[in-house]
C-alpha cells in the first residue's frame, strides 16, 4: 500500500513527490481526560491553633476580603504568617496593606479542652436561686463585648473596613502591633469556591457518578480549592468534577467509611427552679436531644439547641416540665441548613427556644457524666471563631461530658445519609468514647483555670464508635458542631453569662 501511494504521488506531483519517500506510521492518541487530584492524608492533623495576635489579624484580613468577595479568596494563617490571596491585580495594593493590632490587645482566657486541675463543679441544689436582674439582661458582659469587637470583622462589610491607600507597603522595622500579610494571586474567589462547596453535595449520580459516596465539602484556602471527602474516587467521578468545576478547583480526600455520620439526637430532671441549665435532656416532636446554652435578648429569655432537634413553632420539654417553643431555626428538617431572616450566610444547625412565661435560663451548664447534677458557670463566649487545632469538650444528656476533642475542619458541609446537608459546620475528632444519639443540641465548650465555662458551640452530629456508638479506647470519633458565633450573628441577643 505504501509503495502504491508513492507511485501515485510521483505521477500526480512530479518533482514535489520526491519528498514522499515514505509515509510514517501514525498512531492516534487522545488527550488525557482532566481529573481532580486524589489524596489520603489529613492536611490539618498536626496543626496548632494560631496565637491571639495572628487570630486577630486573620479576622481583619477576612473583613478586607469579605468586602470584595469576588476579588479576594479566603485568607488563612500558615507557618506563622497571614496570607491574603486575591483573584484580581486591581486589589493587590489594597490587600498588601498592614494589619494593625490594638496595643491593648491581650491573650483572651478562652479556657482549654482539658478541665483537670480546676475547681470542682457543684450540684444544682447548692447554687443559690437568683433570677437574673434587669441590668444583667439588658447589657452584654464585658467579656462578650470584647469578644464581639474581636469577631465583628468576620461578617462586616466594607462600611466597617478602613480604606487603605492604593500602594503596597514594604515591611519596615518589626512592630509587634503590625502584621504584614503575604499576598498571592489565585484563580478562585471566595464567592466562587463557596458556590462550588454548597452545590456539589446536592448533585445526584446522574451528574456526578459516585456522588452518593461523597460525605463532606470544605474549602482548603492554602490550595485555593474545595476538598471533598469520599469513600471512593473513581476516574468517572474525578473527570466529572473536573469537567464541571475545573481540575484545579476540586480535590478528593479518600477516607474510610466512618460509619453513618448522622445527627446525634435521643441530666434528666432539669426544672425551672434556679433557671434551666444547658446540657439537660429535652424532648420535642422530633425526638430526644440536649439543650445548649442560655440566651437572652432584652427581657426575653431563650435556650439554644440544634435545629434538627426541633420544629419551627414546636414545643420543647425537659424530662419534668415545659421549657418553651421554637421561634427561630436555621435548619429545615426536610433539607438541611437554610438562610433565615433574609440573611445571606448559612448559620449551621441551630434552634432558638423562647422560654415560657416567667421562667428563665441560668448561665450554667451540666458537666460530668450522664446522670450528673453538677454544673459550672458560663462566663463568656470564645473570643474568636473556631480554628484548626482548637481543643474542646462536649456535654450531652446521653454520653455526658467528653473532652479531648480537636478541631480539624472549618466551615465544612456535611451530607447525612438521608440527603440532608448541614452547612458551615466545625468538625473535631478524638479517640475513645464517642458522642451518641441524644447528645445533639448540647454545649461545646472549654473550661478556664477558675473553673468557668467558655462557650464554643452547639453540638450537631456524630460519627464513629462502631455499632455500639460508644467507641473503645482507640476508636476514632467524629463530632460536628455549630460555632457559637453563628448564633451571635444569626439570632437576636446574647449568651447569658454569670
CA distance 259 to 63: 38
Q: Is 426 a member of any domain?
A: yes
Q: Taking 90 as the threshold, does the pLDDT of residue 300 lie above it? A: yes
Does any domain span residue 181? no
Q: Contact 339/346 with Cβ under 8 angstroms?
A: yes
State the average pLDDT for the chain: 85
On whether residue 69 sits in a domain, the answer given is no
Distance CA 466, CA 376 (A): 31
Inside any domain, residue 150? no
Average pLDDT of span 404-429: 94
Query: pTM of the prediction?
Result: 0.81
**pLDDT tens for residues 31-64?**
788 999 999 999 998 889 999 999 999 999 999 9
CB 57 within 8 A of CB 84: no
Question: Does residue 364 belong to any structural domain of this protein?
Answer: yes
pLDDT of residue 46: 87
Give domain status of residue 148, yes or no: no
Q: What is the pLDDT of residues 391-401, one digit of tens each?
A: 999 999 999 99
Which residue range forms the structural domain that includes residue 290? 262-495
Q: Which of 356, 498, 333 is CA-nearest to residue 420?
A: 333
For the stretch 147-195, pLDDT in tens is 454 444 334 333 333 333 333 444 444 667 899 999 999 999 999 999 9
Question: In the prediction, which pLDDT does 417 show?
Answer: 84
Does 156 map to a domain? no
Whether 416 and 334 have beta carbons less than 8 Å apart is answered as no
Give residue-wise pLDDT tens across range 208-224.
999 999 999 999 999 99
Integer Cα distance of 407 and 427 in angstroms: 6
217-269 residue pLDDT tens: 999 999 999 999 999 899 999 999 999 999 999 999 998 765 555 665 449 99
What backbone phi and psi angles, to 5 degrees, belong to 407? Answer: -70, 130
Judge whether residue 498 has pLDDT over 90.
no
β-sheet bridge partners, residue 52: none
Query: The CATH number of the domain where 473 resides is what?
Result: 2.40.10.10
pLDDT at 257: 64
Residue 433 is predicted with a pLDDT of 86
Q: Tell whether 103 is covered by a domain.
A: no
Number of separate domains in the chain:
1
Amino acid at each position: 500500500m505504501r509503495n502504491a501511494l508513492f507511485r501515485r504521488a510521483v505521477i500526480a506531483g512530479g518533482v514535489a513527490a520526491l519528498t514522499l519517500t515514505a509515509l510514517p506510521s501514525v498512531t492516534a492518541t487522545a488527550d488525557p481526560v482532566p481529573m481532580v487530584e486524589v489524596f489520603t492524608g489529613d492536611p490539618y492533623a498536626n496543626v496548632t491553633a494560631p496565637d491571639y495576635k495572628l487570630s486577630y489579624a486573620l479576622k481583619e484580613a477576612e473583613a478586607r476580603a469579605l468586602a470584595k468577595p469576588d476579588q479576594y479568596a479566603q485568607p488563612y494563617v500558615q507557618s506563622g504568617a497571614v496570607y491574603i490571596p486575591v483573584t484580581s491585580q486591581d486589589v493587590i495594593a489594597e490587600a498588601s496593606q498592614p494589619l494593625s493590632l490594638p496595643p491593648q490587645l491581650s491573650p483572651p482566657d478562652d479556657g482549654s479542652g482539658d478541665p483537670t486541675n480546676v475547681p470542682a463543679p457543684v450540684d444544682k441544689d447548692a447554687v443559690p436561686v437568683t433570677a437574673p436582674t434587669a441590668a444583667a439582661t439588658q447589657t452584654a458582659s464585658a467579656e462578650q463585648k470584647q469578644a464581639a469587637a474581636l469577631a465583628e470583622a468576620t461578617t462586616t462589610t466594607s462600611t466597617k473596613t478602613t480604606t487603605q491607600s492604593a500602594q503596597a507597603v514594604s515591611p519596615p522595622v518589626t512592630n509587634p502591633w503590625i502584621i504584614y500579610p503575604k499576598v498571592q494571586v489565585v484563580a478562585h474567589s471566595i464567592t466562587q469556591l463557596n458556590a462550588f462547596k454548597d452545590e456539589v453535595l446536592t448533585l445526584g449520580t446522574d451528574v456526578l457518578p459516585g456522588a452518593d459516596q461523597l460525605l463532606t465539602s470544605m474549602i482548603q484556602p492554602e490550595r485555593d480549592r474545595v476538598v471533598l471527602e469520599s469513600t471512593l474516587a473513581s476516574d468517572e467521578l474525578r473527570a466529572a468534577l473536573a469537567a464541571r468545576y475545573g481540575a484545579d478547583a476540586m480535590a478528593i480526600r479518600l477516607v474510610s467509611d466512618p460509619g453513618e455520620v448522622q445527627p446525634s439526637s435521643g441530666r434528666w430532671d432539669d426544672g425551672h427552679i434556679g433557671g434551666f441549665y444547658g446540657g439537660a435532656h429535652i424532648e420535642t416532636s422530633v425526638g430526644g436531644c440536649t439543650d445548649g446554652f442560655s440566651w437572652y435578648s432584652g427581657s426575653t429569655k431563650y435556650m439554644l439547641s440544634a435545629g434538627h432537634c426541633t420544629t419551627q413553632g414546636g414545643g420543647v420539654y425537659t424530662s419534668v416540665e415545659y421549657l418553651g417553643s421554637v421561634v427561630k431555626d436555621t435548619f429545615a428538617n426536610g433539607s438541611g441548613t437554610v438562610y433565615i431572616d433574609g440573611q445571606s450566610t448559612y448559620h449551621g444547625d441551630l434552634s432558638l427556644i423562647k422560654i415560657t412565661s416567667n421562667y428563665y435560663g441560668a448561665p450554667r451548664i451540666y458537666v460530668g457524666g450522664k446522670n450528673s447534677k453538677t454544673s459550672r458557670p458560663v462566663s463568656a463566649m470564645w473570643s474568636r471563631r473556631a480554628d484548626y487545632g482548637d481543643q474542646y469538650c462536649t456535654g450531652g444528656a446521653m454520653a455526658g461530658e467528653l473532652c479531648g476533642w480537636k478541631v480539624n475542619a472549618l466551615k465544612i458541609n456535611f451530607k447525612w445519609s438521608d440527603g440532608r446537608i448541614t452547612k458551615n459546620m466545625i468538625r473535631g475528632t478524638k479517640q475513645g468514647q464517642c458522642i451518641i444519639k441524644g447528645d445533639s443540641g448540647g454545649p461545646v465548650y472549654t473550661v478556664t483555670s477558675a473553673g468557668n465555662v467558655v462557650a464554643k458551640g452547639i453540638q450537631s452530629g456524630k460519627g464513629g464508635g462502631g455499632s455500639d456508638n460508644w467507641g473503645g479506647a482507640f476508636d476514632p470519633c467524629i463530632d460536628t458542631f455549630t460555632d457559637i458565633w453563628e448564633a451571635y450573628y444569626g439570632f437576636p441577643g446574647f449568651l447569658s453569662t454569670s
